[in-house]
Chain A
Amino acid sequence: MNGFFDIPSDLQHSWAGLIGLHLRESLLPVAAGLLLALPLAQLCVRFRWLYPPVLGLTTVLYAVPSLAFFVVLIDYTGQTELTVMIPLAVYSLVVLIPAIVDGVRSVPQETLAAATAMGFGPVRRYLQVQLPIAAPAIMAGLRVATVSSISLVSVGALIGNQGALGNLLAAAQKYDRPELAVNAVVTMAVLAILCDALLVLLRVLLTPWMPRGAHRRAAAPREQLTPEGVTR
């Protein structure tokens, strides 16, 4: 355990600083992905023929290895955080779009009719009826996207010190200090589990009408349950 938190100075960050950097590099892309996925998913719900091609395109983009994505982007955005964050945002789409589409589609027709009968316009109906009912499905997608994003940031270390905690992995090899690699893996895993738990808490707060204990199964990551969407 000697020197477990003794971070080499060329990383230019303390351990806590690396954690902050890591959270920023992994969570901002998911937020951006969500902002992008909401209108896209709404389009897919509105125009059904749009859904399969959108799903296919995101799947192909998802299959592009993150390292290749980073390297190609260096040409446009340089060796910056942005180069790491753009691919992560794109990857999050492949989880988020099916989650939102399935969630919004699962809103019963009677509920929509009731909202319309109460005089809700399309925008209000979307914001106050469809989104809240779809919230558990969307949150399940967000959980998967967040956890995978936290793990993928580390690959950024390969394009020169842009991997936050992943840089510790490179340092572990460079200075032959395996304890740094252990530190990196454990810290990232703990971060992922903590963020996951926070999102579960957020879902409970956002959907107070749901029974807490009984709803366990729907809260579990359900991304693989969509037979159409290849998701992680």
Chain B
Amino acid sequence: MNILDFGNAFFSDSAHWHGYDGIPQRFWEHVQYSLLALAVAAAIGLPVGLLTGHTGRGGNALALIANAARALPSFGLLVLAVLSIGFGLLPVMIPLVVLAVPPILVTTYEAVRSVDPSPVDAARGMGMHESRILLQVELPVALPLILSGLRSAAIQIVSTATIAAYVSLGGLGRYIVDGLYQRDYEKVVGGATLVAVLALITLAVFWAAGRFAVSPGVRRR
């Protein structure tokens, strides 16, 4: 098993565990890029999705925008951003955010829209304010689906944040890009394994968040 040997060689070399090019450092950088991109994308996608889902208007426009954003190639956006802005964190964040907004936006919209209308009507009949209806009735019911949208976006970000290394930033992509140019397959396999591990950790975090945040009444359905 070629790939397993490469991976084993990478992880058992103690030089890979220390310093600025060590696994802990690169892992942490990767987590930082991913969290930042996810936070920005959520800050854009969640409010817009919640509001449009609540009013039920603008769904077609949303689908159109999301589809157009999906059609933009991340790698192309990165090169374009670097050529026009120069090196730095911003040109990496642009493709990552463009990548992550559509799933968050579309899922949030659909989640809020597909909430059973009878409890919403009941809340309105009890005199609840629209903002309270959205936050206290619709949001808890829609939460599992909203979380699945965020999770899908997070996985894509984690996997794509490797392109940061292509424009000389850090992160786990460093191993993959450096390994490619140094013809060092151990590094490439090691980097890919670490990204996959981070994706699994992301899945676990979202599973735990779902357990913690989704009310038991909604979960049982």
Contacts and interface: CB of A to CB of B under 8 A. Distances in A.
A99 to B, nearest CB: 14
A129 interface: no
B126 interface: no
A192 B77 CA distance: 15
B80 A181 contact: yes
A214 B173 CA distance: 45
B152 interface: yes
Interface in B160-199: 160, 162-163, 166, 173, 176-177, 179-180, 185, 188-189, 191-192, 195-196, 198-199
B191 A193 contact: no
Contact of A220 (B106, B145, B189): B106
B158 A178 contact: no
Which of A68, A69, A148, A220 counts the most chain B CB atoms within 10 A?
A: A68
B16 interface: no
Interface in B52-104: 59-60, 63, 66-68, 70-77, 79-80, 82-84, 103
A193 B68 contact: yes
Given A68-B195, A189-B68, A232-B152, A154 B76 contact: yes
Interface stretch (A2-10, A40-48, A166-174): A166-174
Given A60-B196, A65-B173, A178 B83 contact: yes
A231 interface: yes
A216 interface: yes
Given A63-B196, A64-B196, A169 B173 contact: no
How many of chain A's residues touch chain B, expressed as a range? 35 or more
A72 B185 contact: yes
Nearest to A179: B83
Contact of A65 (B3, B152, B192): B192
A204 interface: no
Nearest to A216: B60
Contacts of A63: 155, 158-159, 195-196, 198-200
A188 B185 CA distance: 30
A72 B68 CA distance: 32
Interface string A50-63: 00000000011011
Contact of A151 (B73, B106, B149, B162): B73
A185 B192 contact: no
A71 B145 contact: no
B149 to A, nearest CB: 5
Contact of A224 (B63, B84, B106): B106
B71 A192 contact: yes
A65 B162 contact: yes
Contacts of A220: 63, 106
Given A63-B196, A68-B188, A227-B144, A173 B79 contact: yes
Contacts of B179: 71
B203 interface: yes
Contacts of B162: 65, 67-68
8 contacts: A59-B155, A68-B176, A68-B192, A71-B188, A75-B2, A150-B71, A158-B180, A184-B79
Interface of A: 59-60, 62-65, 67-69, 71-72, 75, 144, 147-148, 150-152, 154-155, 157-159, 166, 169, 172-173, 178, 181-182, 184-185, 188-189, 192-193, 196, 216-217, 220-227, 230-232
Given A63-B198, A188-B73, A192-B70, 7 more contacts: A68-B192, A71-B176, A144-B70, A169-B79, A172-B83, A173-B83, A196-B71
Nearest 7 pairs between A and B by C-beta?
Answer: A63-B199, A68-B192, A192-B71, A151-B73, A185-B76, A224-B107, A65-B162
